[in-house]
Amino acid sequence: MSRLRIGVTLRVVGVLVVMGIAVFPLYWMFVTALSSNADLFAADARLLPDFSELGVFADALADGEALTWLRNSLVIALGTTVLSIGLGIPLGYALSRFSFRGKMLTAVVLLLTQMLPEALMVVPLFALFNRFDLLDSLTGLVLANSAFVLPIVALILKGAIDGIPRELEEAGRVDGARPLTMLLRINVPLIGPSIAAAAVIAFFHAWNEYVFAVTFIYAPETQPASVGIANFIGEVGTPVQTVMAVAFMFTLPAVAFYLFAQKYVVAGMTAGAVKG
């Protein structure tokens, strides 16, 4: 009996430790944002947030710079989501429902894109965007980000369409519906959760993206939050509390959205990208 007790206790302690490790850095970001200067540099660290410092969030947004960053990130992320889902649904459908020459090749190419580092593609994409006047523009970043996230989106959606019985389409066939109609009327409504998962992945891929943004954007007014926040690292002019407040506001939507959509994201990832 006592052995069982010890086992249960160990498990509870283990769960608490894992939870603490998972949550602490983000908690610490919050605590740092809400610290007075005295606490921040005191000999003994203050482990709890000081809610009388809540004004830091308003201060961080006051000069409008951080708001511009967040708005740019939002535009890039929304654009990437729409474009990659728009291209990914038909691609996933083609891979799931048709057999055609070059299907194998398409599949292999999609997988190979998963091993191309962004840092390698930065130089040629820079040259390409330079020629088409897409540097320093949010459109350029939407295009680059979509190209990188599209294969994952397409694989998730292909997996989802694989799971829909073909019989559902048979009825449509008898009625003489065209493939596009069947895709939009029959498949798309049924794979809603997977589309949501793919959208979350595409959105936050673009929201978090850094390499392309830091290389392709010069003007402060087109800069997304990832670059703005990264510039804080190693810089000493801005108060730590302000930096952490901006970073927290940048992180919170990503975390909140994942928690909200977790079930679908995990199902989509495991179905599409991992298990197949």
Partner 1 sequence: MTLLEQRRAPRTEAGRRRSPLGSRWTPYLFLGPAAIFILLFQGVPLAQEVYLSFTRTSLLNPTNSTWVGLENYVDIFGDEDFRRTLRTTFVYVVACVAGSVGAGLLVALLLNRSFRGRGVVRALVTIPWAAPGIAVALIATWMLNPQYGIVNRFLDAVGLGVPGGAILDSSTYALPAILVTTVWQLFPLTSVVLLSALQAVPRDLLEAATMDGAGRWWTFRAVTWQVIKPTVGLLALLMTIWSIRRFELIWLMTKGGPVGSTETLVIDLYAQAFDSKQLGTAAAIGMVGVVISLIVIAGSRLVTRAAEKEGLR
Applying the rule CB under 8 A, the residues between 137 and 156 that interact with partner 1 are 143-144, 146-148, 150-151, 154-155
Residue 115 Cβ vs partner 1, minimum distance, rounded to whole Å: 4
Tell me which residues in 225-264 interact with partner 1 (CB under 8 A). 225-226, 229-230, 232-234, 240, 243-244, 247-248, 250-251, 254-255, 257-259, 262
Among 61, 67, 78, 122, binds partner 1 (CB under 8 A): 122
Residue 4 Cβ vs partner 1, minimum distance, rounded to whole Å: 13
**Contact pattern for partner 1 over residues 194 through 213, marking x by CB under 8 A:** ----------x--xx-xx--
Among 69, 81, 88, 160, binds partner 1 (CB under 8 A): 88
Q: Which of 171, 191, 3 is nearest to 85 (CA)?
A: 191
- Over the Cα atoms of the chain, what is R_g? 23
Nearer to partner 1, 62 or 111 (CB): 111
- How many residues touch partner 1 under the rule CB under 8 A: the total is 103
| 171 near partner 1, rule: CB under 8 A | no
Residue 219 Cβ vs partner 1, minimum distance, rounded to whole Å: 19
The interface region with partner 1, picked from 51-59, 61-69, 125-133, 185-193 by CB under 8 A, is 125-133
Residue 125 Cβ vs partner 1, minimum distance, rounded to whole Å: 5
The interface region with partner 1, picked from 52-60, 62-70, 176-184, 189-197 by CB under 8 A, is 176-184
